[in-house]
């Protein structure tokens, strides 16, 4: 893979898609993104998947960066961001499949230069209403330390200017990515739009695997919030 992703056009988006064992869904997500005119390229960062996520994404037309060891969502997006050469950046989950087409209305206020950052407001499903303690903690931290009242600061679907994305680095590790990013957007004075879109992705189940996922998410968010509570977040 070349050192920079994308053709370098300042008017187009590079979509960064972290993927961990998403071989059944990532191809549809990549196809959908690449069919949208404002998307220049898709960079899938394969976080040491145990399935064929990387090869499936590559066959679908994505540029693929493979991580040899599992590094977590934040590190995967960080690795992808280091390769961006376009004027706009999107963070997109790998399991959106056909609903990734809705990056177009999500990106519109950013591409029109009305805002610096657009965060998707996705429909809440029954499965996502559960485990509200993770969301509640993130919302409290974003309000307290970023001055923003956002219903779902954990949403991973975002479009922003490259400058706004670069201002977030280094990105938070793991599932703390969105919490820290949203706090920093507020503290840095970035203009933000919350855009309702009908995107959807695989629900996290209430089985053991789902519980482990939510527990890991809560731990990452709690650790990030702790950094801000005790002052470390303000020093980077």
What DSSP line would sit under 51-113, residue for residue?
Answer: SSHHHHHHHTT-EEEEESS---HHHHHHHHHTTB-SSEEEE--TT-GGGGGGHHHHHHHHHTT
Q: 196 near 150, Cβ under 8 Å? A: no
The neighbouring-strand residues paired with 159 are: 90, 118
Q: What's the rounded Cα separation, in Å, for the pair 196 and 177?
A: 21
Q: How confident is the model at residue 7 (pLDDT cuts 50, 70, 90)?
A: very low
Q: What's the rounded Cα separation, in Å, for the pair 165 and 87?
A: 10
Tell me phi and psi for residue 219, to 5 degrees: -60, -45
Q: 211 near 127, Cβ under 8 Å? A: no
Q: How confident is the model at residue 11 (pLDDT cuts 50, 70, 90)?
A: confident
pTM of the model: 0.90
Could you count the other beta carbons within 10 Å of the beta carbon of residue 181? 28
For residue range 156-214, list pLDDT tens digits in order: 999 999 999 999 999 999 999 999 999 999 999 999 999 999 999 766 555 566 567 67
Tell me phi and psi for residue 210, to 5 degrees: -65, -40
Q: What is the pLDDT of residue 204?
A: 58
Average pLDDT over residues 69-81: 97
Q: What is the pLDDT of residue 10?
A: 72
Contacting residues for 2 by C-beta, under 8 A, at least 6 apart: none
Q: What is the pLDDT of residue 133?
A: 86
Predicted confidence (pLDDT) at residue 17 exceeds the cutoff of 90:
yes
Q: Which of 63, 54, 70, 50 is nearest to 16 (CA)?
A: 63
How does the average pLDDT of the chain come out, rounded?
Answer: 91
Q: What is the pLDDT of residue 203?
A: 64
Q: What is the pLDDT of residue 232?
A: 73
Average pLDDT over residues 31-48: 98
For residue range 92-140, list pLDDT tens digits in order: 999 999 999 999 999 999 999 999 999 999 987 654 444 588 999 999 9
Q: What's the rounded Cα separation, in Å, for the pair 49 and 74?
A: 15
Q: Which domains does the chain have, with CATH numbers?
A: 13-230 (3.90.550.10)
Structure tokens at 57: 């994404």
Q: How confident is the model at residue 152 (pLDDT cuts 50, 70, 90)?
A: very high
Say whether the peptide bond before residue 170 is cis (omega within 30 degrees of 0).
yes
Q: For residue 62, what are the CA distances in angstroms to 31, 65, 135, 176? A: 9, 10, 31, 25
């Amino acid at each position: 893979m070349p050192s920079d992703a994308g053709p370098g056009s300042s008017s187009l988006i590079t979509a960064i898609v972290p993927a961990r064992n998403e071989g059944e869904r990532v191809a549809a997500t990549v196809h959908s993104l690449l069919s949208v005119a404002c998307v220049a390229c898709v960079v899938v960062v394969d976080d040491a998947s145990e399935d064929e996520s990387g090869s499936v994404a590559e066959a679908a037309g994505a540029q693929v960066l493979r991580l040899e060891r599992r590094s977590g969502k934040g590190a995967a997006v960080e690795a992808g961001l280091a390769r961006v050469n376009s004027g706009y950046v999107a963070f997109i989950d790998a399991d959106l499949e056909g609903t990734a087409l809705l990056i177009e209305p999500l990106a519109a206020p950013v591409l029109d230069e009305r805002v610096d950052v657009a965060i998707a407001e996705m429909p809440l499903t029954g499965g996502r209403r559960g485990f509200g303690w993770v969301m509640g903690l993130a919302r409290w931290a974003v309000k307290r330390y970023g001055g923003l009242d956002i219903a779902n600061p954990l949403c991973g679907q975002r479009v922003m200017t490259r400058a706004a994305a670069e201002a977030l680095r280094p990105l938070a590790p793991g599932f703390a990515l969105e919490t820290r990013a949203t706090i920093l957007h507020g503290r840095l004075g970035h203009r933000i739009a919350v855009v309702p879109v009908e995107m959807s992705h695989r629900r996290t189940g209430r089985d053991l695997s789902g519980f482990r996922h939510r527990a890991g998410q809560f731990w990452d968010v709690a650790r990030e919030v702790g950094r801000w509570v005790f002052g470390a977040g303000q020093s980077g």
